[in-house]
Amino acid sequence: MKEESIESLGEFGVIDRIASRARCLNKTSLVGIGDDCAVIACDGSTRRKVVTTDLLLEGIHFDLTYCPLRHLGYKAVAVNLSDVAAMNVRPQQITVSIGVSAKFSLKSIDELYEGIYAACERYGVDLVGGDTTSSLTGLTISITAIGDEESDRLSLRSGAKENDILCVSGDLGSAYMGLQLLEREKRVLKQSGSQTPDFGNYRYILQRQLRPEPRIDVVDFLREVDVVPTSMIDISDGLSSEVLHICKASGVGCRLYEEKIPIHEEAKRLAGELNINPIVAALNGGEDYELLFTIRQSDYEKFQSKVGPEIYAVGYITNAQKGTRLLTTGGDEAELKAQGWKMEVNV
């Protein structure tokens, strides 16, 4: 019998395989593998610590041909803070560990940390530790982010209920289209030998790829209007994957409306130039780091009472028997499929 491969399992299959053998032995470990963050109890307190870690590898997650080190440092922090925000929590501390090869100078490390410090300052987060080591394969960055919140304000992936409204913050697909623009100009430069890339009038989607912002403002707004999402996740692997994560964890189905998915005009314009369906970019592109969450129908009215971040209702939760479906603008139904990892860039 042929041994199962990592490729055949895919990213989520590998995670499930690891999680199936993990056991929490301490009573303070309330939520382990399977959410955006682990949740840890604080003895004698109703507050909960949330902890998350992300690993970024040169040649897999970033390409230094077009990603400035300062932007990379900022993004490395941002993607971790986004996971904390996806628990409906404000981040407070990070640790940073890096593996650095001999090709990097001391000035390069300074530039990387300039971006890290900039993100910390912007979001009021403390850099409290980490590790530094040598590497034979380029640059590796590992960041752990920590936050804490009252237990009754935490949002897990597993709380969605039938008839809840599916909401997203901001627009989707822009980061993926920004990546396509960067990759296109990289190919052009290799072929022509020119040193000046032509990014046209695409500043927004480039920023979404190179310097994303975690939606801490959405967490603050939800507190202001006194809404606790019934479930929540950040959109790192594409809308389809994240909707499916919530449905699987909550034991529910969903209906997602294609016409309701928010897409920025720049993303649509470049998608037209490159002959890419912008809906495909929004569903499967990833790296938007927006928040996807579900709320009770009665809570949706609270969003209308105050001016806040752009939040869009894109669908609703059904019972599990009805499945997970995309309702197209043409009136058809298509099964949602997770394809985020397949679209991850290898350079």
> Dihedral sign, CA of 55, 229, 296, 41?
positive
Is the pTM above the cut of 0.95? no
Domain with CATH 3.30.1330.10 in the chain: 6-153
Check pLDDT > 60 for residue 9: no
Question: CATH 3.90.650.10 region(s) of the chain?
Answer: 165-343
Class of domain 6-153: alpha beta
pLDDT reading at 208 higher than 60: yes
Class of the CATH-defined domain 165-343: alpha beta
Which tokens hold the place of 170?
């901001």
CB atoms within 10 A of CB 111: 17
For the segment 243-289, what is each residue's pLDDT rounded down to a tens digit? 999 999 999 999 999 999 999 999 999 999 999 999 999 999 999 99
- Residue 337, SS3 per DSSP: coil
Mean pLDDT calculated for residue range 316-325: 97
The tens digit of pLDDT for each residue in 294-308 reads 999 999 888 777 778
pLDDT class of 342 with cuts at 50, 70, 90: very low
Contacts 24+ apart (CB under 8 A), 133-137: 133/97, 133/98, 133/99, 133/100, 134/99, 134/100, 134/101, 134/102, 135/99, 135/100, 135/101, 136/101, 137/58, 137/59, 137/101
Q: Is the pLDDT of residue 347 over 50?
A: no
pLDDT of residue 199: 85
The answer to whether 103 and 83 have CB atoms below 8 angstroms apart is no
**What pLDDT sits at residue 91?**
98
Question: Of 20-24, 35-39, 215-219, 266-270, which gets the smallest average pLDDT?
Answer: 20-24
Mean pLDDT of the chain: 90
**pLDDT tens column, 161-179:** 999 999 999 999 999 999 9
Look at residue 130 and tell me whether its pLDDT is greater than 90: yes
Q: Which residue in 145, 153, 151 sits closest to 47, CA to CA?
A: 151
**pLDDT, position 134:** 92
